[in-house]
Amino acid sequence: MEFSVESLETPALTKAQLSDLLFEQIGLNKRESKDMIDAFFDLIASSLVDGTDVKISGFGNFQIRTKAPRPGRNPRTGEAIPIQARRVVTFHASHKLKEQIQDEGKTES
């Protein structure tokens, strides 16, 4: 199924716009569309918080990475400040998504 995002006003696709696309192109009512998008992102977020990687076939992988503490510097004052260890989310696009992006870039040239 092909989705059209040509009518988007901003360069970023929002949850509200995804919900509207589900409403318009699949026929779910607006409440169901919003609930489905919210549930989808809540599931991804809770999996990541629990430390579970999220793999979406044909799209990419969201992974939790633990960054070690390191020395940092306040750019204004130059004062040394320790940066605490923290967990961050990384995203790696699948080869299929990377190919789609490259192919689309070639047709616009």
Write the DSSP string, 49-89. HTT--EEETTTEEEEEEEEPPEEEE-TTT--EEEEPPEEEE
pLDDT, tens digit, 9 for 90 and up, residues 17-57: 999 999 999 888 999 999 999 999 999 999 999 999 999 99
Question: Considering only CA atoms, which of 23, 14, 54, 19 is closest in space to residue 37?
Answer: 19
Q: Could you tell me the domains of the chain? A: 10-52 (4.10.520.10), 56-109 (4.10.520.10)
pLDDT of residue 109: 54
pLDDT, tens digit, 9 for 90 and up, residues 63-88: 999 999 999 999 999 999 999 999 99
